[in-house]
A and B are shown apart, each in its own frame.
Chain A
Amino acid sequence: MGWQWFHRLGSPRWFYEKTNAWIPWLALLSVALLLVGATWGLGFAPEDSEQGNSYRIIYIHVPASFLALAGYYIMAISGAVGLIWKMKLADMVMKSAAPIGAVLTFIALVTGAIWGKPTWGTWWIWDARITSMLLLFFLYLGVIALQEAFQHQETANKASAILALVGTVNIPIIYKSVDWWYTLHQPATLKFTGESPIDSSMLYPLLTMIVGFYVFFALVLLMRTRTEILQRERKTRWVKALAGGQTS
């Protein structure tokens, strides 16, 4: 077996047909996990002693934040694979991952901001985590904008792969810098979720949601990549046959 599967990935068509069966299962699993996690977190996890019921936003904010960061790395790694091995599929995965990651970062930002209102009385606060997330959002927007700016697909892929890699190197630096900056300016009384260990009755729905978000990410990434494959291979016979048109 060895590396055969890796070389087969060079054929977008092989990938498309192989993943046909995965979609329904991923969809089922992600919807189940998300619904169970959300219901559990909203209705069955106990109220927080300090923050009351508003802490329930954590069940969205934390998974979205994890995925926002993970999504960038997935994007950068697939970009690197496409750059090094010149694999079309890797380029398509990178292009598909970018908007998904951007939306998730946006969710993390919005839920973080909304959470701030009942907790600290303000719609926006420049704390380390939200500021880092905002900068991550800008990094995503940069990659997406660069992708869209080029006429030629190959050049767009390579350029955005390089930008994604430069961003990857910078993300730890940015996070650490913002962290350090925040410690300079904020009094110690303001703590975000605090260092207190989270109770297991709150932890389990959180874990469910995190896994659910990951599976959902995989699902949507797969769907977008498949559509991208169809888009780029639309002149081939197999795609035309799929479309149902009569080929001459």
Chain B
Amino acid sequence: MGKSARGRANIVSDLTFQFESFSEFMLMAGHGPYVWACYLITAVALVYLACAPLVKRRALFAELQRQARIENHELNKRKQASTENSS
């Protein structure tokens, strides 16, 4: 298990795809369902972790925009009412 630079280069250059075909890659000599279930669950969990803040942020902005619209509407109504009163 050489830790020399040459040893490390060998590891990268010696990279061979370990399976004969794609279907074998899927099956993984019988361990396929376990391995793929794990990777799938993890992928779903990680995607959830990354997306949850984005979704919350979008919801927050939508809420703030809605509030701003309501405030502006109220403000305009009051302005109209005061100009009507003064005229």
- A–B touch (CB < 8 A): the answer is yes
By the criterion of a CB under 8 Å from any partner CB, how many residues of chain B are at the interface? 44
Report chain B residues within 8 Å CB of A246. 68-69, 72
Contact A227 B60 (CB under 8 A): yes
Task: Say what secondary structure dominates the interface of chain B.
Answer: helix
Select from chain A the residue with minimum beta-carbon distance to B15. Answer: A44
Contact A243 B65 (CB under 8 A): yes
Is B18 part of the binding interface, using a Cβ–Cβ cutoff of 8 Å? yes
B57-76, CB < 8 A from A: 57, 60-61, 64-65, 67-69, 71-72, 75
- List A residues at the B interface (Cβ < 8 Å): 34, 38, 40, 42-47, 52-54, 56-57, 60-61, 64, 100, 103, 106-107, 110-111, 114-115, 117-118, 197, 199-201, 204, 216, 219-220, 223-224, 226-227, 230-231, 234, 239-240, 242-248
What are 23 A-B pairs with beta-carbon distances under 8 A?
A: A34-B46, A42-B39, A43-B17, A44-B18, A45-B18, A52-B29, A52-B30, A53-B35, A54-B35, A56-B28, A57-B35, A64-B42, A100-B49, A103-B45, A107-B42, A114-B38, A197-B1, A201-B14, A227-B56, A231-B60, A245-B64, A246-B68, A248-B71
Knowing that A220-B49, A230-B60 touch, tell me 16 more A-B residue pairs with CB under 8 angstroms: A38-B39, A42-B39, A44-B18, A47-B18, A57-B34, A60-B38, A107-B45, A117-B34, A201-B11, A201-B14, A216-B46, A216-B50, A224-B52, A234-B60, A240-B68, A244-B65
